[in-house]
Structure 1
């Protein structure tokens, strides 16, 4: 397979052996793809190779068909959440200079589009290749302004091959896609079915753990991709609902650390279940994974580099003004290198996030992730937090992810997040926001006692705030931006 355009041809020609369906049983078919192609070809403004196309993505068959048709035409797909505000969508369309937006059965030309001078004027059809731009995925913005991440067809296909290999995907697998298709984690569940020939079921409703467990059971799901908040919510109901999970073989996780109690709850209910702890970011899709057989032996680790990718921990050497690789157990910034790494941010002036360090030739690049890691003597990696999340409290360096990993082991805790704030003297302090399993005064007091017993005094957050629920972003991650705004209010 040379490009994602080949996926369209597979479905149209009938050579595709996989299955993509929604909860009512509607399937992706060649007719769906042909309708989507006609929709784009009949747009008021002609869409040509290289044009950016914003798609309001729903977890449904028409959305997938539209993406496939767009890639067939050599367009760049820019997926946004279906219910995103018009102002948010307009900002993204303007940022990437999109030519049109697809909303349901309509292709709407955008007045904000700025015609671009092309270096090569062609008079024959363009052939879609692996180096063509396939996707611009916008980050969720939970820690900053959303940035457009440019991925070529080859970037995406490389990541698909690597993930399929270490997840041991087979044509018999049935995947439940709970995440939105505007989120790369959700989109890749669809691409698995199209490329490997397995089956993916699109969860096209608002996430409800009770209903989701019923779907997992009824649909005979074998691979379940989750984010931590989903995993915790589902785990809480396992012993109450008692779903039939006899077919479920693998649980995959992204978007943050999966607490130990959540893993244990799933493993106690499904002893043979493989739980894949992983780390990645949209800029390179996936970087590290832990073999599920080692989940207890290497608790807290996100494993080693995925197939086809190199990962290293570097620190700046002040003396030589160069980067040196960290020693075992030394904390530094994670860098990754491989053909799954993004091309760049669409806006070259985008601040924050990851950073590309160019080497001697076009693909000789290191991606500085902006995340802090350490590596043990056996080469297993441990996430220590985002470099900008480092909190210096009374002279001590506190890494939020380290603290959250400990706090989440308390059976009273459902979700926790540690944030930096300023006290009345403008000193930096750590604040722990906690959603308890049951938010009662007794449990609040018990947790405070537990924290004193389980955290060193110098590394204990100065303040603990109890909330009924911690808000999540559209992608199921903890909405840190909103929490930080509330702390500053």
Structure 2
């Protein structure tokens, strides 16, 4: 099934129920479908054709949700963009996938214009929330189209497409080298993943799901897709920066489902003065990053005694790979469960055969939800999607190290590459090194991660400087202009040389060990 059909079918089945709640705005399924059709018509009228890419650079909002289904309805491949990207990162994306249209919020005008100039590719620009455009930015809108103006038009749509092998989404992530890769997900892939997630969470049209996870990331995107498939109501929050306010909203809306990451769980555990009668009646909580510490699990149970807690493991290349049933949480608190129904998750050894119990190996995934490959990157695709030794088809090599216990439950051990998650987002230390070395006055730089009780990991950097006047503040400013916030080191430590192994290679492990000793 094609993904845009989910919204069309749901609107026909139950047009009146609320589909989206964003701030004070409420959108029924009928209105959601109607507005998506209108924006799709406007895209087609301005030259977007089937197979073109439409990039979306917006925060969680009704406009972002509408644009996702509009792009699909126009036959395009939707490219969700993290609005926290720096211009350099957005420019790389524009050069790589050359979108026909870029839909973004007015507050991102400067970012988008800088990226477009650097990329040398100028897509059609559609701007949302133009009421907040500053006088300085207003002049740059001369060639742009107002998002709301598109919704006022009624343009005939092309005939509906039936091929579910077309690409639905191109979602950029970072690999071990730090170079962003576009994950190609077909309509069939996405529909399969959404169906499996909705099945094990037992979602239906009585659910109200609150998500503070960005729609531009896989975990957040699937909150929308699963909600539409199930007929649930999705309450979108821009962030979890003010947890008390988010919980008040959740209580007012009668939220039953709450997806989170460990950082959010830690924030909830630290809250004081929460009254049980002011908390939402949660049916379930999901966690799709590192496993939750026992103290956080206890805190969540104290706050939401009726909620079932699902621990899950997923990655952009297949959305979700495993889940731990709530009834198994106490016996296997550090596990991420077993493979999704109808899929396969195996721990393999260096020869590609299934590893023995409690032996560390790489996790490989097989199923209808596995990506088609990486956009414009056949080498990376060949490394990630490889034939199984028994000739049974291709498997996704995750690059993550796992163990399987005697009962078949999977336990995450670590990442084969050096990519780590900080505040729920993947961070490549190598990419940070490259930015630091590009700073005038820096001779060498090495970033590394150490454990953090709140965020799971924190990022710091060792710097060998040629310029004695170089300061931490100057380095931080340099990084903030070029990297997402999660990739900016928390501290910069000046040293005469970097730690090296016996063979002369710099070592992040030694750097982390030195930092822990110093603390």
TM-score by length of 1: 0.73
Distance, in Å, in 1 between the alignment partners of 2:98 and 2:313 is 31
Match of 1:382? 411
Distance, in Å, in 1 between the alignment partners of 2:175 and 2:485 is 11
The unaligned stretches of length 5 or more in structure 2 are 124-157, 431-445, 456-479, 496-519
Return the match for 1:217 from 245, 251, 254: 251
Mapped contact 2:259–2:285 kept (Cα < 8 A): yes
Match of 2:121? 112
Match of 1:190? 224
Moved more, 352-361 or 41-50: 352-361
Q: 1:45 to 1:91 in 2, by over 3 A?
A: farther
Match of 1:331? 360
Match of 1:55? 56
Match of 2:98? 97
Distance, in Å, in 2 between the alignment partners of 1:436 and 1:252 is 18
Mapped contact 1:214–1:243 kept (Cα < 8 A): no
Distance, in Å, in 2 between the alignment partners of 1:431 and 1:166 is 34
Mapped contact 1:147–1:350 kept (Cα < 8 A): no
Moved more, 303-312 or 236-245: 236-245
Match of 1:302? 336
Mapped contact 1:254–1:280 kept (Cα < 8 A): yes
Match of 1:260? 294
Q: 1:271 to 1:32 in 2, by over 3 A?
A: closer
Match of 2:325? 291
Q: Does 1:340 align with 2:339?
A: no
Q: Does 1:21 align with 2:55?
A: no
Secondary structure of 2:6's counterpart equals helix
Distance, in Å, in 1 between the alignment partners of 2:491 and 2:93 is 23
Secondary structure of 1:330's counterpart equals coil
Mapped contact 1:52–1:97 kept (Cα < 8 A): yes
Distance, in Å, in 1 between the alignment partners of 2:489 and 2:40 is 41
Mapping of residues 221-240 of structure 1, within 5 Å: 221-237=255-271, 240=274
The two structures, once aligned, show a CA RMSD in angstroms of 4.0
Return the match for 1:432 from 450, 455, 459: 450
Moved more, 225-234 or 136-145: 136-145
Q: 1:68 to 1:95 in 2, by over 3 A?
A: same
Q: 1:36 Cα deviation (Å)?
A: 4.5
Secondary structure of 1:231's counterpart equals helix
Q: 1:196 Cα deviation (Å)?
A: 0.8
Mapped contact 1:33–1:66 kept (Cα < 8 A): no
Q: 1:41 Cα deviation (Å)?
A: 3.5
Q: 1:165 Cα deviation (Å)?
A: 1.0
The unaligned stretches of length 5 or more in structure 1 are 115-123, 318-322, 391-399, 405-416, 421-427, 438-472
Q: Does 1:5 align with 2:34?
A: no
Mapping of residues 392-431 of structure 1, within 5 Å: none
Return the match for 2:196 from 143, 157, 162: 162
Moved more, 182-191 or 133-142: 133-142
Mapped contact 2:403–2:413 kept (Cα < 8 A): yes
Mapped contact 1:193–1:200 kept (Cα < 8 A): yes
Mapped contact 1:72–1:128 kept (Cα < 8 A): no
Question: How many residue pairs are counted as aligned between the two chains?
Answer: 407
Q: 1:163 to 1:432 in 2, by over 3 A?
A: same
Q: 1:350 Cα deviation (Å)?
A: 6.5
Match of 2:310? 276
Secondary structure of 1:267's counterpart equals helix
The structure with the greater share of residues assigned to helix is 2
Deviation string, structure 1 residues 406-443 (Cα, Å, up to 9, x no partner)? xxxxxxxxxxx9x99xxxxxxx9997343579xxxxxx
Mapped contact 1:8–1:72 kept (Cα < 8 A): no
Return the match for 1:152 from 167, 179, 186: 186
